[in-house]
Chains A and B, each alone.
Chain A
Amino acid sequence: MVESSRTASRSRAVIGESQHLLFSVAPGALWIFVFLVLPSLYLMAVAFMTNGPYGLPQMPLTLDSFEQLAGFGFLGWSPGNLYTLLRSLWQTLIATVLVVMVAYPIAYYITTCRVKWRAIMLLLVVVPSWTNQVIRTFGWMNLLAPGTPLSDLAQWLGVIPPNMGLYPSNFAVTLGLVYNFLPFMVLPLYAAFEKLDTAQVQAAQDLYASPMRTFWHAVFPQTLPGLLAGTVLVAIPAFGMYVIPELLGGGKGMMLGNLVANQFAGGSNWPLGAAGAILMLIATFIGLFAMRRIGKRLGGGEEVVI
C-alpha cells in the first residue's frame, strides 16, 4: 500500500516535471520551430522546384536550380557563379587572416594595460559595431569615393587609374569585412590572453628559449581556443555577407550572399536562390564541424564553445 502510494506520488511528480518542461520550454521551442525550422525546410524544398513566371516556385520537382547554380544556362556553361563562389571563399579567407593579424596584437596590448583601462578599451573596440551595418558601410563609401583624400592618395601612388575611387572594388569589400568583424575576434582573443598562464612563458624564458620559440610553444597554444572561437565568429558570417559586397563591391565584387539575395530581392528566381542558400548552409556546417575538430585536437581537451 505504502509502496504503491509512493510510486503514485513519484509518477505524479514526474508528470508535474514534464508539464513544467512543457510550459516553460514549449512556447519558445514552438516559436523557433514554426518561424524558423519550417521556413528553412520550405526553402530547401523550394530549391528542388521549378522556377515559374514572376520567379515564384512551382511544381514539378527538378534539379534545374542546382544546374543553374553550377553555371549551366541557356547559353551553355558560364563561370560567373563559380567565380562568385571562389570570390566568397577568397574574401572570407583574406578578411579572416587580416582580422587575426590586427586583433591578435590589440587583444594582447589590452591585457598589458592597467585593469581599470581594460573595460574602456574593450568598449572602444566594440562600440563601432553597435551602429548599424548599413551606416558603417556608408561611412566607408564616403571615405573611399572618388575625390576623397584616400582615393587621391591611391591615384597619386598609381594604385588606381585617375578619376576613379577606391570603391567599388574587391579591395573595398575586404576592408569593409575587416572593419565589420574586428571586434568579434578581439573579444575571444582578449579572453584567452587574460587567463594566459604566465608561468609557462616564464619557464620557457628560464630555459633560454628564443622569443620566437617562447611565443610558439608557450603563448600561442594557450590562445588557440580564443583564436578558433573568433575564426568561427568572423569567417561564417563573412562568407554569407550581403550588405558590404552589395554597397562596396559593385558588379565584380559580388559574393554568394548577393547571388542568393538577388534572386529574392529582384524576385527573379527563388529556386536558384534557395539552391545557393543550401550551398551556403553546407559550407557553414562544414566550417563549424572543422573548427570543432581542430579545436578538440589542438585545444588540449578544452572544448571550444561556439
Chain B
Amino acid sequence: MIRPPVGPKEGIVRRIVLSLLVLGALGAAANAEQLVVYTYRSFVNWGPAAAIEEAFEAAHPGVDLVWVAPAGGPEMLSRLIAELASGGTAADVFLGISAMDLPRALAHAVFRPYDPALIPNLAQVPEDLLFDRTGHVVPFDHGYVTFVASAALREDLVPRTFSDLLRPELKGKIILQDPRTSTTGLAFLLWTVARFGEDWTEFWRAFLPNTLTITKGWSEAFAMFEAGEAPIVLSYSTDAAYAYITAGSLRYRILTPDGEAARLVEGMGIVRTSEKAELAHAFLDLVLSPKVQELIPTSQWMFPVNAAATLPPDFARYAVLPEVPVFLDPAYAAEHLEAWLDQWQQVLGTP
C-alpha cells in the first residue's frame, strides 16, 4: 500500500494546536468567584475602575471583579437587554446608565430593586440626585455635557451661541458622538430637542456640515480631539479642569452656547438575573464611599454624588457650571426617544 509520508512538521503543528487548546482549558478552569460589571469604555480608560477593583478585591478576598467595557453606555445597555432576552448574561452590575436611558432599562426590567439598608453610603447622596424613584438605580456621578474648544481654534471662531456653531468657517471642525451608542451623543440630541422644540431637525441639518465625524463613543471622539484631529469636540464641562490638573495647561476652553449645557446624571444598578446580590450591593456601596467618590473628579472628570466627598480646589475652580443647565423631563423624553432617534437618522440620511 502507498502511504503518504508523515513528516516531522505535521507532528509539530499538532503539538502546537494541542498545547493551545490545553492552555485555553486551563484559563477557563482557573475561575475564581467573579463579579462581572458592564460599564462604558471611558470608565475604564479614564475613570476609577482600577482603584475600585483593587479596593473591592482587597475587601472580598477570593472574588475577582471583572470589568467588561468594549463600547459606550447606550450600546452596552442595548447589549445587556439583548442578552437578557436571549438566555442570560454574565453581568451582575451595570454601571453607567444615564437618566436619559433609565426608562428604556426599566421597560425591559434590566435591574432588580436595590436594598438601601445594604448601601449605607447612599444616605450621603442628596435627594435631588436620586433620579430613579422606582428604586432600581443609584447615581454615582453627575456633570454637564457641552462643547470644548482647543487652543488650535482661532479666537474669532470660538462659538458663543448656537448660531455661532453653524458658521461656515467651522466646516469639518467639530467631533460629535452617535446618540444611538453614546451617552454624550444622546445628551446633545436631547439638548437640541429641549432648545429648539419642533425645529430641532432644522438645526441638525444646518449643523451636520460642520462635523468632522460622528463617533460611536466619547472615548474615540475625545482622543481624536486631543490628538489634534479637530479643534472642537462634544465633551464635558470639566475638561478645562482636566487639562489644568494633568498638564498645568489652559489649552481647553469650555463653550456654553447661549449659556447652556446638558445636565447629566449617571447611575448603576444590579442586573435582574444576578445571583450575587450581596456582593453587588457591596460594590454599589464601595462606589458611593467617600474614598472612591473623591477619585471621581480627577479620574472620571465628573462631580461626585456623595456630599461628604471634597472637591480638589483646582477642579472646583476650572470645572464650569453653566448658567442654564438643560435637562429634559425623562418621562417626556422616554415617550418620544425612539421617534427622535428615527428622525435623527433621517437627518443623517439627507445629504
A, B in one complex? no
Residues of B whose CB lies within 8 Å of any CB of A are none
Residues of A whose CB lies within 8 Å of any CB of B are none
